[in-house]
């Protein structure tokens, strides 16, 4: 079993950052040929997801829809002012798992792994654990 973390710097309040290359580098460094890679985001106003990475319009559309379904004008009690960010995180989740085959992430043709920033810009981190099997 191998584990570690890497940083993700975000530059906008809301954005999806493609972290597939960093995750693949962790897999390569682990030496695991067959297994599973678990990713965990320890932040309450950011998420992780797997989605299409070929067309940047997809990320734009996803963020646009999240903005529409999570109201900004709800009478939130959390006084920090970032309650919509917490709700968006609830929708995308804080972890993903990806199979490893032949020493590579087993993603679909168009799939990429994204760090979902909802309360940036910030310096974030992603923790990973790779298990052979």
* Domains of the chain listed by start with CATH number: 2-132 (2.60.120.460)
| Phi/psi at 25 (5° precision) | -65, -40
> Rounded to an integer, what distance in angstroms lies between the CA atom of residue 51 and that of residue 48?
10
pLDDT of residue 23: 98
pLDDT of residue 129: 98
Q: What is the enclosing helix (H) or strand (E) of 50?
A: strand 46-52
Q: Average pLDDT of 53-80?
A: 95
- What is the DSSP code (8-state) at residue 28? H
Predicted confidence band of residue 91 (pLDDT cuts 50, 70, 90): very high
Q: In the beta sheet, which residues pair with residue 6?
A: 126
> Rounded to an integer, what distance in angstroms lies between the CA atom of residue 38 and that of residue 3?
9
Mean of all residue pLDDT scores within the chain: 97
- Mark residue 60 as left, alpha or beta (left: phi above 0; alpha: psi -120 to 50; beta: remaining): alpha
- Specify the residue for token string 């959390």: 78
């Amino acid at each position: 079993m191998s584990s570690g973390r890497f940083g993700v710097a975000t530059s906008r309040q809301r954005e999806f950052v493609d972290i597939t290359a960093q995750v693949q580098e962790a897999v390569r460094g682990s030496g695991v040929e067959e297994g599973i890679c678990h990713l965990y985001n320890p932040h309450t106003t950011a998420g992780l997801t797997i989605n299409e990475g070929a067309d940047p319009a997809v990320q734009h559309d996803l963020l646009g829809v999240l903005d529409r379904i999570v109201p900004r004008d709800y009478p939130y009690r959390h006084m920090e002012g970032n309650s919509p960010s917490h709700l968006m995180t609830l929708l995308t989740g804080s972890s993903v798992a990806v199979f490893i085959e032949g020493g590579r992430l087993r993603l679909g043709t168009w799939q990429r792994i994204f760090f979902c920033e909802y309360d940036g810009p910030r310096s974030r981190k992603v923790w990973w654990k790779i298990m052979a099997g």
